[in-house]
């Protein structure tokens, strides 16, 4: 007989852990820049609608499958489909995808940790030098920082669900909220900050075209950690008395609020540094924003705060991003760990050790693909571009397979597991959900237009990424 399954100790603990997964680099940097460049308030409005009308029902589908099956994603698909091989493939995708995303997210988290250490040690001037990032990611120190980050992830996960994941979330998430608010308060008092707020919030509907809509939906989907098996796995750790719809709404709200508030930090900071900036020139990539652009802004603060003050602000920022990244990486690595424990009956420590080793191997290949080893740097090419090992992991798992996994869980819930089972699971612990208008909406949307939309996104991504053609002319 297997021992009873681990559980979150409290509703708040579960909400913080799920929000910890959802709040990540995407919220703190990706969303603000995306919103500012693509119509400000208009983007925001559309994003919020997507979160609540499209992503929230998918989150409910994932959590309910997880709780009902009481298993990892592979086990859940297998159990609820009666072992059908087609659904086993969906199960496998739901554990391979998070593992591979963990690989590249680890590399980025390691860089953030490195920048945190360097700015705390007083090397902000170095970090602000445009050459630094390029040399940093090719240097040996990345491997030392990787050991440190892995040790932190290991420490949290070996504690298990309640004493590891939940405890860490209860500590890190409130600290993250406080740091974010402190930074926003600080940035808003800078000269010219309001120009940034204006740029961020004033709606410009003329910027909204099909590719912006596609981008907003993908960003919302990714931001809620969907399609990664995370919400299935975390769902399997909630008890039967818990209110899933209520908790999921709070997770979605927290995630959206953090993304929104992060914009009140990033845009005003950019505008106060450079009042004449044309934000359409801002890089789309969160990576160059975090590691090249923002350090320059922090260093410029020394004119008013002195070098020590500027370094302190930079360190708080990197700590904030680091906390966001750690809670996300913990959630995503828990998926294959849970799968190995459930499917093969191995202990948590052995699963962590084995998968940790594998993670290191892949992450090192990724880290080497920034110029250190040409085999990994020029791994392959498609759609007219040379791709590194890191690019492949990103393109295939992050960009392409996520919407496919979302599509599969919707189809699974309604057409295989069946609507009445889905509803019965969500009704448990949520008496107000039962018979509500929201329940009817979720029912209908998960079985109809949400999978259609996800299918279109999936096909478009394949067309753009691998064949260089878009279904939506932009």
Binding mask 90-119 for ligand PFF (x = CB under 6 A): -----------xx--x--------------
CB of 72 to ligand PFF, least distance (A): 16
Scanning 49-57, 150-158, 202-210, 326-334 for contacts with ligand PFF by CB under 6 A, the matching segment is: 326-334
Q: DSSP string covering 269-302, please?
A: HHHHH-TT--GGGS-S-HHHIIIIIHHHHHHHTH
User: Of 27 and 132, which CB lies nearer to ligand PFF in the complex structure?
Assistant: 27
Task: For residue 469, give the 3-state DSSP assignment.
Answer: coil
Helices 437-447 and 56-69, interaxial angle, to 10°?
Answer: 90
User: Of 46 and 228, which CB lies nearer to ligand PFF in the complex structure?
Assistant: 228
User: Of 21 and 132, which CB lies nearer to ligand PFF in the complex structure?
Assistant: 21
CB of 323 to ligand PFF, least distance (A): 12
Scanning 165-173, 323-331, 389-397, 440-448 for contacts with ligand PFF by CB under 6 A, the matching segment is: 323-331
User: Of 24 and 429, which CB lies nearer to ligand PFF in the complex structure?
Assistant: 24
Q: 387 forms bridges with which residues in the sheet?
A: 380
User: Of 230 and 301, which CB lies nearer to ligand PFF in the complex structure?
Assistant: 230
Spatial contact of 158 and 238, defined as CB atoms under 8 Å apart: no
Selected binder of ligand PFF within 29, 282, 332, 392 (CB under 6 A): 332
Query: Is residue 411 a contact residue for ligand PFF (CB under 6 A)?
Result: no
CB of 234 to ligand PFF, least distance (A): 11
Q: Which of 221, 203, 227 is nearest to 407 (CA)?
A: 227
User: Of 161 and 310, which CB lies nearer to ligand PFF in the complex structure?
Assistant: 161
Instruction: Tell which positions 7-36 bind ligand PFF, by CB under 6 A.
Output: 21-22, 24-27
Query: Is residue 156 a contact residue for ligand PFF (CB under 6 A)?
Result: no
Q: Which residues contact 173 (CB under 8 A, 6 or more apart)?
A: 16, 19, 20, 23, 323, 327
Query: Is residue 331 a contact residue for ligand PFF (CB under 6 A)?
Result: yes
User: Of 80 and 228, which CB lies nearer to ligand PFF in the complex structure?
Assistant: 228
Spatial contact of 230 and 402, defined as CB atoms under 8 Å apart: no
Q: 425 forms bridges with which residues in the sheet?
A: none
End-to-end Cα spacing for the chain: 57
Spatial contact of 410 and 451, defined as CB atoms under 8 Å apart: yes
Instruction: Tell which positions 221-240 bind ligand PFF, by CB under 6 A.
Output: 222-223, 225
Structure tokens at 201: 């919030």
Nearest residue to ligand PFF, by Cβ distance, number only? 24
Residues in the interface with ligand PFF (CB under 6 A) total 16
Scanning 39-47, 159-167, 219-227, 463-471 for contacts with ligand PFF by CB under 6 A, the matching segment is: 219-227
Structure tokens at 266: 């990033």
User: Of 57 and 98, which CB lies nearer to ligand PFF in the complex structure?
Assistant: 98
CA angle 389, 386, 458 (to 5 degrees): 75
* Alpha carbon 18 to its chain's center: 11
What DSSP designation does 275 have? Answer: T
Structure tokens at 438: 């929201």
Task: For residue 387, give the 3-state DSSP assignment.
Answer: strand
Q: Report the interface residues with ligand PFF, using CB under 6 A.
A: 21-22, 24-27, 101-102, 105, 222-223, 225, 328-329, 331-332
């Amino acid at each position: 007989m297997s021992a009873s399954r681990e559980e979150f100790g409290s509703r708040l603990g579960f909400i913080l852990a799920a929000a910890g997964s959802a709040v990540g680099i995407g919220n703190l940097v990706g969303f603000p820049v995306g919103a500012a460049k693509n119509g400000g308030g208009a983007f925001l409005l559309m994003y919020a609608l997507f979160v609540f009308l499209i992503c929230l029902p998918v989150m409910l589908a994932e959590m309910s499958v997880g709780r009902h099956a009481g298993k990892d994603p592979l086990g859940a698909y297998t159990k609820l489909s009666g072992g059908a091989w087609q659904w086993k493939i969906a199960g496998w995708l739901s554990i391979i995808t998070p593992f591979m995303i963990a690989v590249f997210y680890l590399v980025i988290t390691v860089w953030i940790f490195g920048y945190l250490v360097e700015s705390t040690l007083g090397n902000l001037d170095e970090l602000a030098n445009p050459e630094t990032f390029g040399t940093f990611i090719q240097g040996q120190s990345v491997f030392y920082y990787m050991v440190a980050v892995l040790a932190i992830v290991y420490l949290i996960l070996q504690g298990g669900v309640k004493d590891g994941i939940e405890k860490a979330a209860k500590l890190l998430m409130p600290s993250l909220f406080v740091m974010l608010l402190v930074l926003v308060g600080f940035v808003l008092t800078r000269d010219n900050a309001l120009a940034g707020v204006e740029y961020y919030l004033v709606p410009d509907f003329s910027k909204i075209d099909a590719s912006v809509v596609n981008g907003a939906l993908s960003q919302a989907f990714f931001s809620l950690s969907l399609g990664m098996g995370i919400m299935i796995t975390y769902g399997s750790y909630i008890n039967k008395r818990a209110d899933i719809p209520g908790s999921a709404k709070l997770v979605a709200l927290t995630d959206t609020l953090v993304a929104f508030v992060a914009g009140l930090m990033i845009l005003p900071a950019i505008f106060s540094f450079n009042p004449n900036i044309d934000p359409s020139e801002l890089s789309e990539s969160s990576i160059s924003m975090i590691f090249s652009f923002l350090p320059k802004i922090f260093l410029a603060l020394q004119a008013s705060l002195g070098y020590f003050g500027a370094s302190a602000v930079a360190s708080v920022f990197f700590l904030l991003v680091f906390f966001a990244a750690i809670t996300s990486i913990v959630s995503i690595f828990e998926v294959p760990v849970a799968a190995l424990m459930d499917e093969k009956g191995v202990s948590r420590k052995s699963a962590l050790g084995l998968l940790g080793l594998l993670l290191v191997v892949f992450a090192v290949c990724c880290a080497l693909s920034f110029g250190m080893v040409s085999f990994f740097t020029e791994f392959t090419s498609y759609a007219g571009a040379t791709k590194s090992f890191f690019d492949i992991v990103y393109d295939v798992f992050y960009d392409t397979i996520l919407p496919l996994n979302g599509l599969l869980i919707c189809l699974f819930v309604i057409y295989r597991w069946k609507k009445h089972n889905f509803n019965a699971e969500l009704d448990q612990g949520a008496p107000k959900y039962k018979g509500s208008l929201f329940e009817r909406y979720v029912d209908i949307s998960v079985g109809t237009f949400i999978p259609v939309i996800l299918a279109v996104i999936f096909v478009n991504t394949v067309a753009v990424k691998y064949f260089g053609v878009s279904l939506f002319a932009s």
